[in-house]
């Protein structure tokens, strides 16, 4: 199924709640299509692989990591071309839809800064206790790894139960991601949404924010410093905790 025009926030939230998400053939594509993979990549929140080298980078605060400070810049970076990624699946329809979802409080970004320069990060969608990681970008060594590590720590602190990575990559596998079949994924998704009151059917109406409440994406903000960044040592500590 494909579509053109605009993507309604309610339709998107409903689609993600039943395991479906949009993609485009290219950055310049004027339409999108809906994807429901037979195999799904997830990153267990208690199974993040924190290597010694990454632990040192995070603990030393090599990057200043913020949340929701530059959402539009992050999604634009993810959608843009780069030497290692000449084209992307994020077209204007998807970009504009996620900017609206961010304004509604559903979509979030994690940003990595080197001084005042934005050097990496990721964005995704929170529904209930599930977080759907959409795309990540890195313009400096380890920036995307630090962003994912910070995301996992934040999801653990906020009571989330599922981090959906959509498709498996070597990069994600090295961080602890696993690939599961559709039935197992839907069971995990159902559990993550079970206490939210979310409808199982997509709706074109904008959803009530309270109806999709579950995990608290901003729970970790209380540990942030004056610069808005959570200290790396706090992130390392959270990642080292066992459930």
List, for residues 41-61, the tens digit of each pLDDT value. 999 999 999 999 999 999 999
Domains and CATH numbers, the chain: 2-195+204-240 (3.40.630.70)
Report pLDDT for 26: 94
Residue ranges of E strands in 28-181: 31-35, 39-42, 64-67, 107-114, 117-127, 130-138, 162-166, 178-181
Angle at 24 between CA 23 and CA 30, to 5 degrees: 135
CB 95 within 8 A of CB 76: yes
Please name the residue that has the structure tokens 């970004």.
109
**Model confidence, pTM:** 0.89
Locate 204 and state its tokens.
Answer: 């074109």
In this structure, the strands spanning 107-114 and 64-67 are antiparallel
List, for residues 163-187, the tens digit of each pLDDT value. 999 999 999 999 999 999 999 999 9
């Amino acid at each position: 199924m494909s579509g053109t025009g605009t993507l309604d926030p309610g339709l998107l939230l409903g689609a993600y709640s039943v395991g479906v998400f949009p993609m485009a053939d290219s950055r310049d594509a004027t339409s999108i299509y809906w994807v429901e993979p037979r195999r799904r990549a997830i990153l267990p929140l208690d199974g993040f692989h924190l290597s010694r080298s990454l632990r040192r980078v995070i603990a030393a605060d090599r990057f200043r990591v913020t949340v929701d400070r530059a959402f539009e810049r992050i999604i634009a970076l993810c959608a843009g071309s780069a030497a290692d990624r000449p084209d992307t699946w994020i077209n204007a329809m998807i970009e504009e839809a996620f900017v609206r979802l961010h304004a509604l409080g559903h979509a979030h970004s994690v940003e990595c800064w080197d001084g005042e320069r934005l050097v990496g990060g990721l964005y995704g969608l929170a529904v209930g206790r599930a977080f759907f990681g959409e795309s990540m970008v890195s313009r400096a060594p380890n920036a995307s790894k630090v962003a994912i590590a910070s995301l996992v720590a934040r999801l653990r602190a906020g009571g989330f139960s599922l981090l959906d990575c959509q498709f498996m990559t070597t990069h994600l596998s090295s961080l602890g991601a696993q690939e599961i079949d559709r039935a197992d994924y839907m069971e995990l998704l159902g559990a993550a949404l079970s206490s939210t009151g979310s409808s199982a059917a997509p709706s074109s109406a904008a959803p009530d924010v309270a109806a999709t409440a579950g995990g608290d994406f901003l729970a970790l903000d209380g540990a942030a410093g004056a610069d808005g960044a959570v200290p790396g040592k706090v992130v390392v500590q959270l990642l080292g905790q066992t459930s």
